[in-house]
Each structure stands twice: as structure tokens, then as C-alpha cells.
Amino acid sequence: MVIKMIQVNGKEFPWEEGLTVAELLKRKRYSYPKIIVKINGTLVEPEEYASTAVRDGDDVKAIHLLAGG
């Protein structure tokens, strides 16, 4: 079986049917509260994470806004 991939922050990540932004963040263990998510350059608001599908081949950016400890 060929594993389908998406790009997450420029690196490959396996894709599955039904994958949402919320599920993707969970799988990546991205728990930081200040994250900006863009799919193919389009911003996704936090309240839409659960309902927004990630499609095969999508380029997802999950930018963590922390440049200072």
C-alpha cells in the first residue's frame, strides 16, 4: 500500500482519510496555545480546527509563536 503524505512545516507526514487540523495537531503533539495554522497558504482559525479537513498532498504550516524563552 502506498502511504499518502502531506507536508507539515516542510516535512513529510503520513495522511489518512478524514484527517482534520485538530487531529493533525494532536498527532504531532502540538499543544502550544499560540499556533498559527495555514493550509496551502490559507489561514485556518482555531474554532475551525475540528471541522477543517486536511487533504492528501496539502502543505500545512503550524507556526508556533514563541521566539523567546
Partner 1 sequence: MSIENKQSARRLLKEYAYSLGMIDKGYANRTLYIDLSGNTILEKPVTQEMKDKFTGGKGFGLKYLWDAVTPATKWNDPENEIVIANGPLCGITQYPGSGKSLVVTISPLTNMPVDSNVGGYFGPFLKFSGFDALELQGKADKDVIVFIDGNKGIVRIEEAPVDAADSHVLAEQLTEMFADSEEDKRNISVVSAGSAAEHAYIGLLNFSFYDVRRKAARLKQAGRGGIGTVFRDKKIKALVVKFVGVKGNLNHPADQGTVNRTGIKLHKEIHDLDDKQNRMRKIGTANIIEIMDEYDLLPTHNYKFGRHKDTYKINSYVFQDMVTQGMADGCWFGCSMSCAKAADNFLLKSGPYKGQKVVVDGPEYENAAALGSNIGVFDPQVVMELNFYCDTYALDTISFGTMTAFIMECYENGILNKERTGGLELNFGNAEAALELIHQISRGEGFGKIAGKGVRRMKEYFVKEYGADPAFLNDIGMEQKGLEFSEYMPKESLAQQGGYGLTNKGPQHDEAWLIFMDMVNNQIPTFEDKAEALHYFPMFRTWFGLNGLCKLPWNDITPAGNKYTSEPAKIPEHVQNYVDIFSAVTGKIIDKEELIRQSERVYNFQRLFNIRMGYGKRVHDKIPYRAMGPVTVEEYESRQERYDKQLQELLGYDPVGKSTEEKMKVMRAYREDQYEKLTDAVYKRRGWTPNGVPTLEKLKDLGMDLPEVVKVVENNL
Q: Please give the residue ranges that form the binding site for partner 1 (CB under 8 A).
A: 9-11, 29-34, 36, 43, 61-69
User: Closer to partner 1 at the Cβ: 9 or 51?
Assistant: 9
CB of 35 to partner 1, least distance (A): 9
Residue with cell 471541522: 51
Which residue lies nearer to partner 1 by CB, 1 or 11?
Answer: 11
The nearer residue to partner 1, 12 or 56, going by C-beta atoms, is 12
Range 28-67 burial, b when 16+ CB lie within 10 A, else e: eeeeeeebebebeeeebeeeebeebebeeebebbbeeeee
